[in-house]
A and B are shown apart, each in its own frame.
Chain A
Amino acid sequence: MQVRDYVARRLMILPLLIVGTSIIVFALSRVGGSPIAIYLSHEMTADEVAEIEERYGVNEPLPVQYLAWAAGALRGDLGWSGVSSAPVRQIFPKKLAASAELAVAAGLVAVALGISLGTFAGARRDRWPDHFARIFSISGASMPVFWFGILLLILFWVILGIAPIGRSDPGVFARIAHPTGVYTIDAILAGDAGALWDAIWHLILPAITLGYGTTAIITRMMRSSLVEELGEDYVDAARAKGLPERIVLRRHARRNALIPTVTVVGLSFGFLLQGTVVVEIIFRYPGLGRWLADAVLRGDRATIMAYVLFTSVLFLLINLIVDVLYAYLDRRVVLGE
């Protein structure tokens, strides 16, 4: 099968998956307890309750409710966020900018570090860098994100007193405009080096916490696929051509070892998204994750639904891109089931 056909087929399945996901999300909101409980209070009269029920259409048959909700979601209307006392669509972009900044920072560090460390270890199989990488990656996979964050906090905040908490210094925040909501970019736009430093400074610990698990996964994958590639004949063939070891490693083995690593990078995006929930709680970082945690504790279903739907669609798209990239990169792969 051609890569083009494969992409076309994947694109055809995509809407199906999105619809399926949205049905699950909708179903979730109707399980156990009233979806509008957060909008009600004890002081309301029966008429007032009936009016709210009417407004949210909870007395309609479920399919009708689903269609109404889905139509709203398509228009960008995701309901009223109880925890923020504002429409979801209004709050969402700000929170997203904050979380995206954190996740991208963590992701970039994880990819760069994971690939280098994995290459370094794989090329020195069974010697000490390799053992170190193994310990690093297996402990990263077992590490509870929140515990790691707390360890860093105890060390850098409580004991050393050098790390900040939150997302920015209030004085610095007030100093510059925030057109994008991504503070590092805002600082660059404002040309304020101090603000940029402040934004980065607040990002470091959360990004390390969030990125550790992902780095571990990428390191492990990169190492094992490099070891596998180094055992292939074409690596010997490259050496037999007289190429220096550095070129053999970079141009031949690492290039091919990167291909399976790409899939892990895609999957680890989900890992990063999940991680923001706890990381943001620990570092009091005002992003999507903490918003979700608040919503979860208060039973704010509109917010939960919006969050789950958004991350799932994003996750789907990213996996699609990764799969297509993989099919394109790995010419050995036989496409199909």
Chain B
Amino acid sequence: MSATDPTSPASMHSGTGPALAERVPLVSVEGLRVHFTSKRGVVHAVDGVTLDIGDGETVALVGETGSGKSVTAKSLLRLIPRPPGVIAGGKALFRSKMPCPGCRGAGCVDCGQTGRVGEPCTACAGAGCGVCGQSGRSTVDLLTIPEDELRDIRGNRIAMIFQDPGKALNPALTIRAQIAEVFAEHRSDELVSEAGLDDESGRLLRRAVRNRGRFFERRLGSLPPLRSQRRRVDAVLDGRIVEALADTRIPNPVKIMRSYPHELSGGMKQRVMIAQALACDPDLLIADEPTTALDVTIQARILDLIGELQARRGTSVLYISHDLSLVRGIADRAAVMYAGMLAEVGPAEQIFADPLHPYTRGLLAAIPTPGMGRGRLAAIEGTVPELIDPPPACRFHTRCPHAATACARTDPPLAIRQPPDHRAACLLYDDAAEVGERPEDMPDRSAAS
């Protein structure tokens, strides 16, 4: 598979985030809690997730079905269905970026060739204050900002691609219409000025382009003087859409643009989704299992494509996956999620080379590798516990081969176990806790396989 090929663009990028990443993360999720009310009680789908995503960094969020990884990702854009879902606590700080003033987005030394730099905090102009948490960058909490501000961010600064591109595209609209919505929503000013129109007629047209106007305004837009102007706007829009599609190396983008989703293959549809997501050069791309629904042969190509586009634009990516092996070649950092909580977070290389949490070890042991003998594949015993009003205990203790009595009584903190930032939520590494088995007693992975 070319995703794990060290010369592929995706792999080349891995582990080489800009220096800025270490200073201020693009996104800081702190103690996120998402609950769902059900007939039998409150389901703690996400129960205190803390995670940073640096500028240009690729973070993989890995877990089984039902571990809460998708819910975590969706709550960054507040896409949780409410009711029954409710964001019960925590913060999701987002520090958006803007075109680099030095090179106007062309890419220069200042911005590390990405063409984008952090947007200074409006309250202190970058000096650092209480509003921006001393970071000096414009900071908002995605979980609490007003709906219209959030909409400015959705699709513009943070975009998302979904698991099944066949379901995530509206079957009744052409590809053009669906991508046009993104530009119309976030780039209408640019479109109007590129079409060479003045502000006055532009205002009306902008509403028309956004398909937002009242009935009469829309009729007015189809009258002769405005109609020709509208055509010019449409032509500019077409150019943008073709450009976005061509970026994803879709053959014949003009033809694709006029198609309906059902006329395209799964891989094509996912490319369209990527084109749509990256249309406005977002700072963060959330990719929710973007290859799960695709053929194995297409998967690697889609992963390469995301990696390549990300490297060129300096986009951060939050990668949601249930497949550890897929993540290995593309992520800078990985976070392993289990039953609504993070089990382990750290640099991807370290997690694969030296997993700390027993759950991660189990997952890795369950991956078949070439050269492995028959019948050696390890499965984790038991099933994921129910998340209705969970007791304060390690969520994994019912399945953990090393579980001690303390594990059933205490919720293990996600503490640094290996400097600088490899964390694991496991009492076995806690010197203070009275547990029977020490980490050094735990069988290491090489012995297990």
Q: Is the CB of B171 within 8 A of A331?
A: yes
**CB within 8 A of B168: which of A234, A245, A330?**
A234
The contact string, 1 if C-beta is below 8 Å from chain A, for chain B 122-161, is 0000000000000000000000000110011111100110
B residues near A329, Cβ cutoff 8 Å: 172
Which residue of chain B has its CB nearest to the CB of A246? B212
Q: Is the CB of A244 within 8 A of B162?
A: no
A residues near B154, Cβ cutoff 8 Å: 239-242
Q: Is B185 an interface residue (CB 8 A)?
A: yes
Q: Is the CB of A238 within 8 A of B170?
A: yes
Q: Is A255 an interface residue (CB 8 A)?
A: yes
Interface positions of B from 178 to 234, Cβ below 8 Å from A: 181-182, 185-186, 211-212
Q: Is the CB of A331 within 8 A of B172?
A: yes
* Total interface residues in chain A, CB < 8 Å: 25
Interface positions of A from 210 to 253, Cβ below 8 Å from B: 231-234, 236-245, 247, 251-252
* Total interface residues in chain B, CB < 8 Å: 36
A residues near B167, Cβ cutoff 8 Å: 232-234
Contacts A234-B170, A252-B170 hold; do A240 and B153 have CB atoms under 8 A apart? Answer: no
**CB within 8 A of B159: which of A240, A251, A330?**
A240
Q: Is A9 an interface residue (CB 8 A)?
A: no
**CB within 8 A of A240: which of B79, B148, B173?**
B79
B residues near A259, Cβ cutoff 8 Å: 172
CA–CA, A232 and B276, complex, Å: 18
Q: Is B164 an interface residue (CB 8 A)?
A: yes
CA–CA, A207 and B22, complex, Å: 71
Q: Is A60 an interface residue (CB 8 A)?
A: no
Q: Is the CB of A244 within 8 A of B151?
A: yes
Q: Is the CB of B83 within 8 A of A126?
A: yes
Contacts A238-B170, A256-B172, A331-B172 hold; do A233 and B164 have CB atoms under 8 A apart? Answer: yes
CA–CA, A212 and B156, complex, Å: 46
CA–CA, A233 and B155, complex, Å: 15
Which residue of chain A has its CB nearest to the CB of B162? A233
Q: Is B262 an interface residue (CB 8 A)?
A: yes
**CB within 8 A of B211: which of A237, A240, A247, A330?**
A247
Which residue of chain B has its CB nearest to the CB of A125? B83
Which of B172, B173, B181 counts the most chain A CB atoms within 10 A? B172
Q: Is B26 an interface residue (CB 8 A)?
A: no
Q: Is B337 an interface residue (CB 8 A)?
A: no
**CB within 8 A of B181: which of A126, A231, A238, A245?**
A238
CA–CA, A330 and B261, complex, Å: 12
Q: Is A75 an interface residue (CB 8 A)?
A: no
Q: Is B100 an interface residue (CB 8 A)?
A: no
Q: Is the CB of A236 within 8 A of B151?
A: no
Q: Is the CB of B155 within 8 A of A241?
A: yes
Q: Is A55 an interface residue (CB 8 A)?
A: no
CA–CA, A330 and B171, complex, Å: 8
CA–CA, A232 and B212, complex, Å: 23
Interface positions of A from 251 to 299, Cβ below 8 Å from B: 251-252, 255-256, 259
Q: Is the CB of A332 within 8 A of B262?
A: yes
B residues near A236, Cβ cutoff 8 Å: 74, 79, 162, 168
Which residue of chain A has its CB nearest to the CB of B84? A126
Closest chain A CB from B317 CB (angstroms): 15
Closest chain A CB from B373 CB (angstroms): 41
A residues near B74, Cβ cutoff 8 Å: 236
Closest chain A CB from B206 CB (angstroms): 14
CA–CA, A240 and B164, complex, Å: 15
Q: Is B62 an interface residue (CB 8 A)?
A: no
Q: Is B260 an interface residue (CB 8 A)?
A: yes
Closest chain A CB from B90 CB (angstroms): 20
Q: Is B77 an interface residue (CB 8 A)?
A: yes
Closest chain A CB from B410 CB (angstroms): 37
Contacts A240-B79, A241-B181, A242-B152 hold; do A247 and B171 have CB atoms under 8 A apart? Answer: no
B residues near A241, Cβ cutoff 8 Å: 154-155, 159, 181-182, 185, 276
Q: Is the CB of B170 within 8 A of A240?
A: no
Q: Is the CB of A237 within 8 A of B160?
A: yes
Q: Is B169 an interface residue (CB 8 A)?
A: yes
CA–CA, A126 and B37, complex, Å: 13
CA–CA, A251 and B276, complex, Å: 17
Which residue of chain B has its CB nearest to the CB of A232? B167
Q: Is the CB of B172 within 8 A of A255?
A: yes
Q: List chain B positions with a Cβ less than 8 A from chain A.
A: 74, 77, 79, 81, 83, 147-148, 151-156, 159-160, 162-164, 167-173, 181-182, 185-186, 211-212, 260-262, 273, 276
A selection of 22 A-B contacts at a CB cut-off of 8 Å is A231-B81, A232-B167, A233-B164, A233-B168, A234-B168, A234-B169, A234-B171, A236-B74, A236-B162, A236-B168, A238-B170, A240-B154, A240-B159, A241-B155, A241-B182, A242-B156, A242-B182, A243-B155, A243-B181, A331-B260, A332-B171, A332-B262
Given contacts A238-B170, A241-B159, A256-B172, 10 further A-B contacts (CB under 8 A): A232-B167, A233-B164, A234-B169, A237-B169, A239-B77, A240-B155, A241-B154, A242-B182, A244-B148, A331-B262
Q: Which 3 A-B pairs rank lowest in CB-CB distance, beginning with the nearest?
A: A241-B155, A242-B155, A242-B154
